Structures are given as structure tokens and as C-alpha cells.
């Protein structure tokens, strides 16, 4: 992930000062243990200022509104108590080349500053620290004790100290090329690394841009550079410093990240806040998505294995219970031929009542004929009771397996992160598994939302098509969204998403619409790799949710079968 360097911080700071000051603090909300939001209101607009001290994605920028989940953090409580209702009147850099901004709060613009919020963007050492006007620390986002850092502690009640000053040479526009070149080439090495080793305040991304703008390679060794190469590189270096001095940044997306310098090929972007917010949110979401997807899939696979073993055990016991009638048959034969049983016999051969074939029956020589018959009757009753007990247990575990297969199918369909809705859909699956007690909760569950986003398609005739991406969405589509004019599709006896073909009153779908919908239903099912898949469709009024059924489970009637061909769906 591209680091939030000093150049980026400067670009953000310049834009915030120009467009967002002064601003009233209307709300304070903490999303997680690394991210807090300040709701800003200016005379012209409102927005959310995101302050993040995540070790790999620390940043400050105007962001999208945070998710509506309960805020249970003490840091936000302290911040809310002190600065809510005040005005954000100033944003200052505490020193040249330091990635720390001082957010200043007062009752109104022009008044004395009452509070300072220091936002330190320094990789794994990032922090957000609230101090009073006398620079006494009131609330740090992250307490740092002496045992954690021998250089600088950050604790409530202590005076705020700026981070230790950077060691090494800082870039200066006044430095001549001869001095600059001598410093960079003193120890032979690759260009990018030499720039990083020679000066502070420069990031790998900035170094790469400077070198690329000079039409050189970051991996090129300093000893291979010609006089013209050094001149071009020095001019590119000065251009970087000039951009920071004039604060005229060029924004854009690049192949591997973003640029605020515009020294490399890029896709132009107008808003630096949106550029930074989108980049870091997407990267954080991708990481969260991968972690959560792996966690949920492993959990479902493990529970499925246990359920399959349990089902096999019940089936074995059920198979044993089918022998109950055989034991009753033997008992009946013994009772009908008590007079033929002699004391001390180990077995007796009697003709079966139905087949008239000889049947050898084992006997206990220590029991009399009636006792031997009664022992067979007892086994018959035991196996009969076992059958009655096992059948509902087997039905229950088979229902659970069907449900878990449905969840597994949803996870398999959701294997790559494309947009924030993908992470939201995955989070809904997690909440569902918590509700079903397959996972323990580590946060308050989000409410079931009607605006949860399913897949959306348009049929050849222009009808809207909706596909549930998880069981929550399946329930919403089938039992909330669907009306009497729609058609409901699902793969026959195969786990998959609920599919809703939306129709206007009186509209009749063409065969190509039905075929297209069937193909979609087959594609978003466990049978995606098949050539042809049986799909049923019916009116939503014929779809029911059994009492006590798990999310996404439904039964139907009055269905019509159609064949879906998932391979005809464009995978992109």
C-alpha cells in the first residue's frame, strides 16, 4: 500500500484549509479502534473528516459518511465531550517535513484556541492526540508508555511533545546540483534507494516519480548515469520541491496507486480528498475482505464437515434400526415353536412364515424358550424407538447441511473484492452466522436493511432482475421486495441465490427473458460450472418460509421447470 507521505499530507492540508475552514463540529464518531470521524459543517456544505491511525493505512481526509453502527469507544466519548459544538478554526503543520497536523478548535473563528488535536501520520507510530490550550494531553487515541518507547511516551496528563526530529539531511531548493549529486552518488547503489538514504522526508513513491520523470529507472545504479541524466534528475528533484512550495498539486490515479505531483502518467482527478479516501478505503477494504472471507469460509467448511459426520452417524443408526422387524420376526417364530426348543440349545432352525425358507435363530442356553423370545422382542422395541428418535435428528442435521451449503455457495460467489458493497455483503454473512450461533460476536450486529444491495441485471426485454448475494438479501427479495406481478426463480434442489424477475402489472415476459433469468439463476448457484442446470420459477405468493427456518430457506409450489445454462453468462 502506498504510504501517506509528507507531500500527500501537504496537499490534503492545503485543500482542507481552502475549502473546509472554518467548520462547526456537529458530531464525533469512532468506527473502530483506528478510525474516528468529525462531522464538519461550513456555510456551504457538510462532510466527514476521517482521522485514521492504522499502522498501514494512516491518513487524514474528507471521507464518505461512516457506517451506522454503535460507537462504544472511550476516545470518541472524550473527544465528543470537549470539541463537539466548537469550530475547527485552524490546521497547521507543526514543522517542515513533519507528518503532523495541528487541528485547532475555538468557540468561533477568531477566538482563542481552546483545544488542539494533533494528527500524527507516521506509519506504525501514527496517533491522534487531544490536548488543551496549555498542551497538556487530555485524550490520546493510543497510550504509549515508557516500556513501549524509550524516546517518547504519550499518556494522559503529560505535556505534549512533538515527535523526535528527523535525523539526516532535509531537502532544500537552495542546494546546488554539485552538492546534491555528490550526496546521492557518494555510495554507489540503486537510484531510488540512494535518494531515500540521502534525504529525509521523501517516500519511495515520490522517489520513483522523480526518477521516472527524469526518464530513468528506480533500479538504475548511480554509477551508470551520464552528465545529462544527472541534470535531468536534479531538475525533476527541483520540480518536486517547487510543487510543494507553490502548493500547486496535480492529482491523479496511477497504475499502482495515486499521485499528487503528476510527474508520472496518470488518470486526472479533481478532488484530492476523494482521491485519498477512495485509495485507502479500497485497500483497507480489500484486506478486511480477504481476512473475513477466509475466516467465514473456513468456519463454514469445518462446521459442514462436522455436520456431514453427524449425518453419516445418524444414517448408520437408521440403517441398523431397519433390522427391527427382523428381530420381531425371529421372536414370533420362537413363540410359535416353544415346544421345539430344548434346554441347552445354542440355536434352532425354523421355517420363515412368509418365505417358508429355513431361518437359523441363535439361542441363549441359560434362558428358557419364552425368555429367548422376549430378548428378541426387547431388541425389536429398542431399534424401533431408535428409529423414531433418529429420523427427526437426521432431518435436522440435513436441514443444517442444506443451509450451510447455501452459505458456502454465497461465499464462493463472493470470492473477489470489487467495491464496498462486497464487504458489506460479506459482513452481512458474518452477522447471519453470529445470529445462528456459528460465530461469537465481537461487535453489535447491524440491523437487517432493506437497502442491502443485490446483484442487478436487465433482461433482453428491459425487465429488472435482482439476485440475492447472501441469505439476508434472499429473504428481503423473496419476502419483502417481491410483489404479485413478479416471478421468483431458484435452482431446483441446488443451493443458490434467490432470483426475482420484476414485472409491471399486465407484463408478460418473453421466452428470452425467462431463459436469461434461468441462466443467471444457474450462474449464481452451486452448479455454476455445469452445462445445464434445472431451474424452477413460480409466483412469489407460492413461496413460503417454514416456521423456524434459517435465513434464505424457502419452500415453493406450482413451479415450472426450465433449464439454465450458466456458461452463457458473461463472467465479467
Structure confidence by residue, pLDDT tens digits, 236-286? 999 999 999 999 999 999 988 999 999 999 999 999 999 999 999 999 999
Q: Which of 148-152, 191-195, 504-508, 560-564 has the lowest mean pLDDT?
A: 148-152
User: Could you give the CA distance from residue 317 to residue 202 in angstroms, rounded to a whole number?
Assistant: 71
Among residues 35, 71, 70, 39, the alpha carbon closest in space to that of 55 is found at 35
pLDDT digits (tens, 9 = 90+) for 18-75: 999 999 999 999 999 999 999 999 999 999 999 999 999 999 999 999 988 889 999 9
Confidence category of residue 385, pLDDT binned at 50, 70, 90: confident
State the pLDDT at residue 442: 64
Classify 454 in phi/psi space as left (phi over 0), alpha (psi -120 to 50) or beta.
beta
Task: Say yes or no to pLDDT of 225 above 90.
Answer: yes
State the pLDDT at residue 368: 92
User: Could you give the CA distance from residue 409 to residue 194 in angstroms, rounded to a whole number?
Assistant: 50
State the pLDDT at residue 317: 79
State the pLDDT at residue 380: 82
Task: Say yes or no to pLDDT of 446 above 70.
Answer: no
Tell me the CB-side half-sphere exposure of residue 305, using CA atoms within 13 A: 5
State the pLDDT at residue 450: 47
State the pLDDT at residue 146: 85
The mean pLDDT of 133-157, rounded to a whole number, is: 92
Task: Say yes or no to pLDDT of 169 above 70.
Answer: yes
User: Could you give the CA distance from residue 30 to residue 308 in angstroms, rounded to a whole number?
Assistant: 42
pLDDT digits (tens, 9 = 90+) for 458-488: 999 999 999 999 999 999 999 999 999 999 9
User: Could you give the CA distance from residue 497 to residue 296 in angstroms, rounded to a whole number?
Assistant: 18
Q: Which of 90-94, 274-278, 389-393, 426-430 has the lowest mean pLDDT?
A: 389-393
Task: Say yes or no to pLDDT of 448 above 70.
Answer: no
User: Could you give the CA distance from residue 488 to residue 555 in angstroms, rounded to a whole number?
Assistant: 12
Determine contact, residues 517/563, Cβ cutoff 8 Å. no
State the pLDDT at residue 328: 84
The total of other beta-carbon atoms located within 10 Å of residue 85's CB is 11
Q: Which three cell numbers stand for residue 170?
A: 532535509
Q: Partners of 258 in the beta sheet?
A: 253
The mean pLDDT of 345-352, rounded to a whole number, is: 90
How far is Cα of residue 86 from the mean position of the Cα atoms in its chain? 35
The pLDDT > 70 percentage for the chain reads 98
Query: Strand, helix or coil at 29?
Result: strand
User: Could you give the CA distance from residue 413 to residue 407 in angstroms, rounded to a whole number?
Assistant: 10
Compute the residue count for the chain. Answer: 572
Confidence category of residue 444, pLDDT binned at 50, 70, 90: low
The mean pLDDT of 384-413, rounded to a whole number, is: 89
User: Could you give the CA distance from residue 517 to residue 533 in angstroms, rounded to a whole number?
Assistant: 12
Q: Which three cell numbers stand for residue 427?
A: 459482513
Task: Say yes or no to pLDDT of 531 above 90.
Answer: yes
Residue 46: phi and psi, rounded to 5, are -125, 155
The pLDDT > 90 percentage for the chain reads 77
pLDDT digits (tens, 9 = 90+) for 290-346: 999 999 999 999 999 999 999 999 888 777 777 777 878 888 898 999 989 898 899
For 325-342, the DSSP string reads: HHHHHHHHHHHHTGGGPP
- H or E element in which residue 441 lies: none
State the pLDDT at residue 559: 95
User: Could you give the CA distance from residue 194 to residue 413 in angstroms, rounded to a whole number?
Assistant: 46
State the pLDDT at residue 452: 67
Among residues 359, 311, 355, 298, the alpha carbon closest in space to that of 334 is found at 359
User: Which of 97-111, 347-361, 385-399: highest mean pLDDT?
Assistant: 97-111
Torsion of CA 284, 288, 290, 295, to 10 degrees: 170
Determine contact, residues 409/377, Cβ cutoff 8 Å. no
On average, the pLDDT of the chain sits at 92
What are the CB-based long-range contacts (under 8 Å, 24+) for 538-545?
538/487, 538/488, 539/484, 539/486, 539/487, 539/488, 540/478, 540/482, 540/483, 540/484, 540/486, 540/487, 540/488, 540/500, 541/484, 542/488, 543/478, 543/479, 543/482, 543/488, 545/475, 545/478, 545/479
Q: Is the preceding peptide bond at 531 cis, omega within 30 degrees of 0?
A: no
State the pLDDT at residue 157: 93
User: Could you give the CA distance from residue 47 to residue 137 in angstroms, rounded to a whole number?
Assistant: 27
User: Could you give the CA distance from residue 337 to residue 350 in angstroms, rounded to a whole number?
Assistant: 8
Task: Say yes or no to pLDDT of 206 above 90.
Answer: yes
Rounded alpha-carbon distances, angstroms, from residue 469 to 41, 95, 271, 430, 443: 36, 50, 32, 13, 22
The total of other beta-carbon atoms located within 10 Å of residue 299's CB is 17
Amino acid at each position: 500500500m502506498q504510504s501517506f507521505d509528507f507531500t500527500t499530507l501537504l496537499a490534503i492540508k492545503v485543500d482542507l484549509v481552502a475549502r473546509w475552514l472554518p467548520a462547526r463540529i456537529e458530531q464525533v464518531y469512532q468506527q473502530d479502534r483506528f478510525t474516528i470521524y468529525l462531522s464538519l459543517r461550513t456555510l456551504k456544505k457538510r462532510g466527514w473528516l476521517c482521522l485514521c491511525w492504522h499502522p498501514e493505512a494512516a491518513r487524514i481526509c474528507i471521507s464518505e459518511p461512516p457506517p451506522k453502527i454503535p460507537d462504544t469507544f472511550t476516545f470518541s466519548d472524550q473527544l465528543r465531550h470537549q470539541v463537539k459544538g466548537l469550530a475547527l478554526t485552524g490546521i497547521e503543520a507543526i514543522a517542515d517535513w513533519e507528518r503532523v497536523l495541528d487541528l485547532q478548535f475555538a468557540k468561533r473563528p477568531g477566538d482563542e484556541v481552546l483545544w488542539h488535536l494533533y494528527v500524527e501520520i507516521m506509519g506504525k507510530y501514527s496517533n491522534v492526540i487531544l490536548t488543551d490550550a496549555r498542551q497538556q494531553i487530555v485524550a490520546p487515541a493510543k497510550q504509549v508508555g515508557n516500556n513501549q518507547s524509550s524516546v517518547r511516551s504519550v499518556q494522559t496528563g503529560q505535556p505534549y511533545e512533538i515527535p523526535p526530529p528527523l535525523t539526516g539531511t532535509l531537502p532544500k531548493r537552495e542546494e546546488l546540483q554539485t552538492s546534491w549529486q555528490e550526496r546521492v552518488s557518494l555510495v554507489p547503489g540503486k537510484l531510488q534507494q540512494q535518494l531515500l538514504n540521502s534525504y529525509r522526508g521523501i517516500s519511495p513513491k515520490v522517489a520513483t516519480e522523480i526518477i521516472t520523470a527524469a526518464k530513468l529507472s528506480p533500479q538504475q545504479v548511480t554509477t551508470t548515469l551520464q552528465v545529462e541524466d544527472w541534470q535531468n534528475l536534479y531538475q525533476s528533484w527541483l520540480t518536486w520541491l517547487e510543487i510543494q512550495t507553490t502548493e500547486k498539486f496535480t492529482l491523479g490515479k496511477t497504475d499502482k496507486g495515486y499521485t499528487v505531483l503528476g510527474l508520472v502518467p496518470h488518470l486526472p482527478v479533481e478532488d484530492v480528498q476523494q482521491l485519498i479516501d477512495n485509495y485507502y478505503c479500497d485497500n483497507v477494504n480489500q484486506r478486511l475482505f480477504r481476512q473475513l472471507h477466509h475466516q467465514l469460509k473456513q468456519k463454514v467448511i469445518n462446521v459442514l464437515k462436522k455436520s456431514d459426520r453427524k449425518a453419516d452417524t445418524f444414517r448408520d443408526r437408521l440403517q441398523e434400526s431397519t433390522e427391527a422387524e427382523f428381530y420381531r420376526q425371529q421372536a414370533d417364530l420362537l413363540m410359535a415353536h416353544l415346544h421345539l426348543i430344548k434346554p441347552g440349545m445354542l440355536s434352532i432352525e425354523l421355517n420363515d412364515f412368509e418365505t417358508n425358507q429355513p431361518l437359523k435363530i441363535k439361542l441363549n442356553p441359560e434362558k428358557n424358550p419364552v425368555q429367548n423370545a422376549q430378548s428378541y422382542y426387547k431388541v425389536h422395541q429398542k431399534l424401533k424407538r431408535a428409529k423414531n428418535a433418529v429420523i427427526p435428528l437426521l432431518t435436522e442435521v440435513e436441514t443444517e447441511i442444506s443451509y450451510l451449503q447455501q452459505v458456502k455457495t454465497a461465499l464462493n460467489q463472493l470470492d473477489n473484492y470489487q467495491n464496498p458493497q462486497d464487504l458489506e455483503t460479506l459482513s452481512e454473512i458474518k452477522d447471519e452466522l453470529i445470529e445462528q450461533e456459528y460465530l461469537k460476536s465481537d461487535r453489535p450486529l447491524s440491523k437487517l436493511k432493506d437497502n442491502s444491495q443485490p446483484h442487478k441485471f436487465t433482461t433482453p426485454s428491459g425487465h429488472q432482475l435482482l439476485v440475492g448475494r447472501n441469505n439476508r438479501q434472499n429473504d428481503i427479495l423473496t419476502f419483502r421486495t417481491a410483489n404479485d406481478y413478479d416471478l421468483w426463480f431458484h435452482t431446483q434442489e441446488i443451493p443458490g441465490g434467490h432470483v426475482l424477475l420484476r414485472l409491471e402489472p399486465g407484463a408478460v415476459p418473453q421466452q428470452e427473458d425467462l431463459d436469461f433469468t434461468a441462466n443467471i439463476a444457474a450462474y449464481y448457484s452451486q452448479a455454476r460450472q455445469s452445462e445445464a442446470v434445472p431451474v424452477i420459477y413460480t409466483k412469489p405468493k407460492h413461496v413460503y418460509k417454514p416456521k423456524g427456518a434459517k435465513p434464505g430457506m424457502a419452500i415453493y409450489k406450482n413451479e415450472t421447470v426450465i433449464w439454465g445454462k450458466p456458461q452463457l453468462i458473461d463472467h465479467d
